[in-house]
A = this chain, B = another copy of it.
Amino acid sequence: MVLLLIIIPGRNYIDESIELAKKIGAEVLNVKYKVFPDGEKYVRIENSEKIMGKPVIISNTMYPSQNDSFIETLMLINASIKANASRIVAYIPYLAYSRQDKVFLTGEPVSAEIVLKTLYYTGIDCLITIDIHSEQVLKELNKCFYNIQVFDILFNNVKHLVNDPIVIAPDKGALNRAKYLADKFSLQYDYLVKERDRVTGEITIQTREIDIRNRDIVIVDDIISTGGTIAEASRKLIEKGARRVIVCASHGLLIGSAIDNIKKAGVLKIVLANTLGIRFQDPFIEYVDVSERIAKILLEVLK
């Protein structure tokens, strides 16, 4: 069998790219990574003559070392073009800068737009990503993209830990994520509202409609960064009578003492997709391989 697809693994995502390649019967081309004495990055795709006339999948993720990964991803795209790829699809499960998706304060850039535009201008034909913070920037570019949700896969791995849970979004912005998961498993869902008492200054967090007393909870969110939002939400939910709380997130950056803080808030388990170039070795955290879903999408895009 002649392999017709080529996967080029980014430095942040080598093992995962090899796994993905197996699932779609693609050939993995090794990449030589180097740093020059002045700090400039260098990449070279080995056996690049195999690229000629074939579709190429650049598979990399943009955490950690966002800026370096960005440049290296652009280099792999450019090198594939120079090697005469017929089409280039980028699979970038985690897109850096996706939270700076509008001008919140005058004088700010829309960094998410910079990253996305640059990927397309450098030469990708289509982008596959997992649960981008907001799809809006991507939509406005009017290019081929697939923004994949995996909360059902994540939850499937831990559903034995909870009984008929309510799916909770920690804020209104994540409500579509809660709905996605709730619909798949016929669960109730809601989002949390943060309110500050004008007299006492006290912050209360509460669900909009559903009574959470003695109920199990699945909190869903796209990115856990320092974990402040998740820890606060979990603590308040448990204070208000929730029973067991587990967390499903697409991207677990878990910076600093995030894991400890979420543990202390009473969370039973965090379930994460394998979207990043780091993995925390802690039984509290469960990683779920989502490459099967990505493989299906890739075969659809490239068919």
Chain A interface residues (CB < 8 Å from chain B): 36-49, 63-68, 70-71, 74-79, 82-83, 96-97, 99-100, 103, 105-111, 113-114, 117-118, 121-122, 225-226, 253, 255-256
Contacts and interface: CB of A to CB of B under 8 A. Distances in A.
Given A37-B255, A121-B118, A82 B109 contact: yes
A75 B39 contact: no
25 contacts: A37-B226, A37-B256, A38-B66, A38-B253, A38-B255, A39-B65, A39-B66, A40-B66, A40-B99, A41-B67, A42-B108, A42-B111, A43-B109, A44-B105, A45-B107, A48-B107, A67-B71, A75-B111, A76-B109, A77-B109, A78-B110, A82-B103, A82-B109, A82-B110, A83-B107
Given A255-B37, A255-B38, A75 B44 contact: no
A277 to B, nearest CB: 12
A226 to B, nearest CB: 5
B40 A97 contact: yes
Nearest to A43: B109
A166 to B, nearest CB: 29
A253 B38 CA distance: 7
A44 B114 contact: no
Nearest to A225: B38
Contacts of A42: 100, 108, 111
- What copy number does this chain have within its complex? 2
A40 B74 CA distance: 18
Most B Cβ at <10 Å: residue of A39, A47, A77? A39
Contacts of A108: 42-45, 79, 82
Contacts of A75: 109, 111, 114
A65 B35 CA distance: 12
Contacts of A78: 109-111, 113-114
Contacts of A79: 103, 107-109
Most B Cβ at <10 Å: residue of A38, A66, A100? A38
A35 B111 CA distance: 13
Most B Cβ at <10 Å: residue of A79, A103, A108? A108
A29 to B, nearest CB: 8
A59 to B, nearest CB: 16
Contacts of A77: 109
B64 A67 contact: no
Contact of A107 (B40, B46, B111): B46
Nearest to A223: B38
B38 A63 contact: yes
Contacts of A96: 40
Nearest to A64: B39
A113 B82 CA distance: 11
Nearest to A46: B107
